[in-house]
Amino acid sequence: MYQIRTDLALETQEKMQEDNVELKGVRFLEERVDKNLTISTVVIETENGAKTMGKPKGTYITIEAGNMDEEDEDYHREISVQLAKIIKKLARIKRDEISVLVVGLGNREVTPDALGPRVVDNLFITRHILKEYGKYAFGQDKVNRISSIVPGVMAQTGMESLEIIKGIIRETKPELVIAVDALAARSTKRLNRTIQVTDTGINPGSGVGNHRHGLNEKSLGVPVISIGIPTVVDAATIVNDTMYNLVNAMTQSPAFSQLGNSLEELNDAEKYELIRELLSPNLNAMFVTPKDIDESVKRLSFTISEGLNIAFMGGGAQRAHVE
């Protein structure tokens, strides 16, 4: 079977359906919130399901909105509100006051990879104020303890994000980690229009950059919710995918009936080989992204940080402090 590279469980699920692969141990649910907003849930329930999907067991919730990266007076607050609900649901927070470390993954210097760092820029941070002045400073009974870090990428630090985050967790003992990262999609149509929230953390092969080791409950010792938006497609994926479609089109098109016949005789492995030979090895280190990615990342990072601010700082007086 032809493997695709995507960080979106939704896309993997769609591909399985396309290929008529029977998905055991995977539940799927789609809810149309309004004409612009769809929320889908993929739950991978068994190890078998995880194997077929190529993703760890857990819940993957996807917010899709066609207008997500368009200009909007309040940065799509309606999406931020949905995001806040999903975060709270996935985090299964029972206590009223928890301490949360938000991690902005990715490389601030590469526009489509700057999503995580830029989300952190607009968070309302409370931990240091609570430590110094107590809840008094907020005029509230219950205030969550929010801290954040932008660890940078390995080429800048020489360290894996896991090492940095693990150390900080040991020292500051948050009860929950939120990891925000730019993702890679399979289809350019999904770019900057989809938010994926999962309780499985960040796993190897995810993201624009390469996080070698996963950031998840197992590696960090605390629950990890990850929030991501696909901002790139791998260059190899886009070429691969289009060529695969080309070969399939030829196979099916009556205009190319003779052609189709000979291609049909090729098995998937042979098709793959044919394609692979034509692929530049350079493509593996390349990505595809829209020309106006700067504006999308600016807006989307604000939508996510507002979602987090609503989830953890609520509305009203407290939100007044959101930068």
Under rule CB under 8 A, which residues in 147-176 are in contact with its own copies? Answer: 147-152, 154-160, 163-164, 166-172
**Closest distance of CB 260 from its own copies, Å:** 9
Alpha carbon distance 289, 304 (integer Å): 20
Closer Cβ to its own copies, 22 or 171, answer by number: 171
Q: Is 302 exposed, middle or buried (0-12, 13-18, 19+ CB in 10 A)?
A: buried
Complex with its own copies: residue 105 or 129, whichever CB lies closer: 129
User: 141: Cβ–Cβ under 8 A, 6 or more apart, which residues?
Assistant: 135
Considering the rule CB under 8 A, would residue 311 count as an interface residue with its own copies?
no
* Two tokens, residue 172: 């500051």
Q: Which of 278, 253, 200 is nearest to 12 (CA)?
A: 200
Among the listed ranges 34-42, 56-64, 217-225, 234-242, the one in contact with its own copies (CB under 8 A) is 234-242
Which residue bears the tokens 């601030």?
108
- In the window 48-107, what residues touch its own copies (CB under 8 A)? 71-74, 107
Q: Which is nearer to its own copies, 55 or 76 (CB)?
A: 76
| Chain center to CA of 108 | 17
* Total residues in contact with its own copies, by rule CB under 8 A: 88
Burial 53-85 (b: 16+ CB within 10 A, else e): bebbbbbbbbbbbeebbeeeeebbeebbebbbe
Contact (Cβ atoms closer than 8 angstroms) between residue 131 and residue 186: no
- Choice between 104 and 201, CB closer to its own copies: 104
Contacts of its own copies in 204-223 (CB under 8 A): 208-209
CB of 170 to its own copies, least distance (A): 5
Choosing from 4, 26, 120, 180, the residue that interacts with its own copies (CB under 8 A) is 120
Structure tokens at 123: 């968070």
Is 146 among the residues that bind its own copies (CB under 8 A)? Answer: yes
Nearer to its own copies, 135 or 321 (CB): 321
Applying CB under 8 A, which of residues 16, 23, 81, 243 lies at the interface with its own copies? Answer: 243
CB of 111 to its own copies, least distance (A): 5
Site for its own copies in 14-43 (CB under 8 A): none
Which token pair is 30? 């789609």
Kindly identify the residues of this chain, within the stretch 267-306, that bind its own copies according to CB under 8 A.
Answer: 274-275, 277-280, 282-283, 285-295, 298-299
Backbone angles phi, psi at 169, to 5 degrees: -65, -45
